[in-house]
Amino acid sequence: MWVFAGRGTRRMVSVKKRCAGFTLLELIMVIVVIALGIAISFPALSRGTAALHLRAAGRDVLNVLRYAREKAITEQREVQFVAEKQGRQVILTDELGEGGKSHALPRDVIVESVFAGGEEIREGPLVVRFLPNGSSTPATIVLKSDAGGYLRIVTDPITGGARIVVGQEGTHS
């Protein structure tokens, strides 16, 4: 391209056009930064998932307990809730142990320990009896996630109601 440099002289000027965009090095650096961010945040996200599964399993067990109480009152007969220590399911049966409906827990949640009347049941299942008047046997079910979180479900013997208590493994009151 010819450009006039002034006072009648012409000289050749090189005009370089720079294309807008990113270099390969800049793109690689962005990918590295994103990969580091994902690597750092992944453990925190997986712990959150385990806690979510534990809370969901706790709500499911609580709902089965509430359903057992309602069924006992409605049908005017005893209903039993059965939970095995170290098990991954809970069972709802009648007073003879027949007609059982089981509910499976997520694969990363187990029944860590069970208590009846404040005493830990070391062998055999925990059986919570729901009576036609709405009352139940006192019980505590401790759920544990693979990530180490604990959740307790406690039944009230007078009202037969149940509630979730977030806490440590050793507490069962």
Residue 81 resides in a domain? yes
Q: pTM for this structure?
A: 0.68
Within a domain: 138: yes
Cβ 130 vs Cβ 41: under 8 Å: no
Give 109-162 pLDDT, tens digit per residue: 888 888 888 888 888 888 888 999 989 989 998 988 887 888 899 998 888 888
**Number of domains present in the structure of the chain:** 1
- pLDDT tens digits, one per residue of 78-109: 999 888 777 778 888 887 767 778 888 888 88
Q: Is residue 4 part of a domain?
A: no
User: What does the alpha-carbon distance between residue 112 and residue 124 come to, in Å, rounded to a whole number?
Assistant: 13
Domain that holds residue 119: 24-166
Q: What is the CATH number of the domain that holds 54?
A: 3.55.40.10
104 SS3 class: strand
Q: Are 152 and 171 in contact (CB under 8 A)?
A: yes
Quick count: other Cβ atoms within 10 Å of Cβ 150?
Answer: 19
Strands 150-155 and 79-83: unpaired
